[in-house]
Amino acid sequence: MVLLDLNSHNKHYNPEKFRSNFPAINDQSVYLDSAATALKPQAMIAATHEYYAHSTATAQRSLHHDALQVTASIDKARQYVADFIHANDNSEIIWTRGTTESINIVAQSYARTILKPNDEIIVSELEHHSNLLPWLIVAQQTGAKVIKWSSNIDELSALISSRTKIVAITQMSNVTGFCPDLATISQITHQYNAVLVVDGAQGIVHHCLDVKQLDIDFYAFSAHKLYGPTGLGVLYGKQLLLKQMSVWQGGGKMLKTASFSDFQPADLPYKFEAGTPNIAGIIGFAATLDWLRNWDVKQADRYTEQLANYTKSQLMKITDIEFYSVDNSPIISFNIKNIHHNDLAILLGEQKIAIRTGELCAQPLMQKLGCHGVIRISLMPYNNQQDVDKLIEAIQNAIAILT
Ligand code: PMP
C-alpha cells in the first residue's frame, strides 16, 4: 500500500508560492542556516496546533475516539515515511529522536552484538560527530577498530576486507556539501558482506533517495531538517537486520510479555519504540510530508542549485575568500583571510542574517581542511536572490568593520 506517492500528483514548484508557506520568513531577516534546522511550513504548524488544541490523546494505548484517531495517524505517518524513502514495509521505519539517536541504535543494538575484537568499522572523514562517536563508543566496548576513510571510492576498495563489518558514510556532508556515490559504495560494501549505514541528515531534503534501489542497510535522518518538527527522527533498517537486533531501550509497549525474570520483545517496529512516542511531532511530520507532495521537489532542487551558483559567484568577488564546499551545493562553506568566522557571524547576526559558523560538529574534518572553523551558508527552495544580495551586503559591511 502506497499512501504517499510523490509522483502521482500534478505537481509544480514556484519559488514565491513555496516561500509564502513559511510564516517565519519576513522582510526584516534572512535565514541561511537551514542545514542546522529548516524553517517550518504552515501545514506542519497547523497540524501540531490542531493536535494540542483539539485532539490531545495518547497512541497505541487508550481506546477512546481521539486515542484511536491518534494511533491511526501515527500508522499513516509511518507509511508516509516508508513511501518517501521507498522502504519495502512500514515496519522498517522506527521513530527516534533524530539522526543521532538512530545511529546510536544501530551502534548499540546491531554493531555491539556482532563486533569482535579487531573487526573493523570504516567511517568516512566527512562525518558529523553523530556518525563517528557512536562507532568510537562501540569500538571501545567491543575491541573493534574504527578505520578512517577519505570517502574516495578507490580508497574504500583498498581498505575494505573480511574484517570490515560496517561502512558508515554521509549522504551529504554538512561542511562540504559533497554527496558520495552511494550506489558504488553499497556495491563494494556488500561484496564483503559488510553493512552500509547512511547518515541522511543533510541529504534527505535535497535528494530523495530509494533505500531499496541503493541497497542501503540502515538509513538515518531527522525530521527537523526536512521542514518537520524537532525531536523526531527516523531509523530505516532492512527487516532482516532489525529482526536480529537486540532491543534498544526498555519500557512501555516494546514488549509482548514481561515478568520479573524475563520479557519477550514486541514485533517490529515497536520493539525499538519504548515509551510514549513524540505524538505531536509525528502528526506534524505526516502533515509536512503530505504538504511536500504538492511540490515538484526535483524542480525545487534545480532552483536551489541555481541560487547556490549565484551565491558562490557573488561570494567569489570577496578578496581572500577560501571555499571548502563543492560546486553546485546548497551548502557553501568558506573563510575570509584574517577574519575570525565567529566575528563575522556576530556582525551578520546584528544585521539579522542567520548563518552558522564553527566546527560544525565535524572536528576531524576541520583538521583535514586545516582550519578551526568555517562560515556556512545553507540554502533551501524558500530562499531567494534578495536573501543572497542582503547577505553579500551584510558581509561587506562586516568586512569594513573588521579590517
Ligand atoms: N549528521 C549530519 C550530517 C548533520 O548535519 C547533523 C545535524 N547537524 C546530524 C547528523 C545530527 O542530526 P540531529 O542533531 O538532528 O540528530
Atom of ligand 1 nearest to the CA of 224: 15
Q: What angle do CA 209, 155, 181 make, to 5 degrees?
A: 15
For every residue of 83-125, DSSP letters joined together read HHHT-S-GGGEEEESSHHHHHHHIIIIIIHHH--TT-EEEEET
Query: What was the pLDDT predicted at 380?
Result: 98
Query: What was the pLDDT predicted at 59?
Result: 83
Query: What was the pLDDT predicted at 55?
Result: 85
Pocket test for ligand 1, best of 103, 169, 174 (most atoms within 8 A of CB): 174
Whether the pLDDT of residue 61 is over 90: the answer is no
Rounded to an integer, the average pLDDT of 68-88 is 94
pLDDT digits (tens, 9 = 90+) for 92-124: 999 999 999 999 999 999 999 999 999 999 999
Query: What was the pLDDT predicted at 127?
Result: 98
Query: What was the pLDDT predicted at 93?
Result: 98
Percent of residues, the chain, with pLDDT higher than 70:
98
Pocket test for ligand 1, best of 34, 37, 99 (most atoms within 8 A of CB): 99
Atom of ligand 1 nearest to the CA of 127: 3
Query: If pLDDT is split at 50, 70 and 90, which confidence band does 8 have?
Result: very low
Catalytic residues, by residue number, are 361
Rounded to an integer, the average pLDDT of 340-364 is 97
Query: If pLDDT is split at 50, 70 and 90, which confidence band does 56 have?
Result: confident
Rounded to an integer, the average pLDDT of 235-239 is 98
CA 1 to ligand 1 centroid distance, Å? 30
For every residue of 204-217, DSSP letters joined together read HHHS---TTTTT-S
- Residue labelled with grid coordinates 541504535: 105
Mean pLDDT for the chain? 96
Query: If pLDDT is split at 50, 70 and 90, which confidence band does 9 have?
Result: low
Rounded to an integer, the average pLDDT of 73-88 is 96
Residues with CB under 6 A from ligand 1: 98-100, 128, 130-131, 170, 174, 199, 201-202, 222, 361
- pTM equals 0.96
pLDDT digits (tens, 9 = 90+) for 274-309: 999 999 999 999 999 999 999 999 999 999 999 999
Percent of residues, the chain, with pLDDT higher than 90:
92
Whether the pLDDT of residue 67 is over 90: the answer is no
Which residue type occupies 275? G
Domains defined along the chain, listed by start: 15-37+296-402 (3.90.1150.10), 55-292 (3.40.640.10)
CB-based burial label for 320 (10 Å; 0-12, 13-18, 19+): exposed
Q: Euclidean distance between the first and final Cα of the chain, in Å?
A: 61
Query: What was the pLDDT predicted at 4?
Result: 60
Atom of ligand 1 nearest to the CA of 98: 16
Lowest mean pLDDT among 73-77, 145-149, 237-241: 73-77
Beta partners for 219? 198, 236
Whether the pLDDT of residue 241 is over 90: the answer is yes
Whether the pLDDT of residue 153 is over 60: the answer is yes
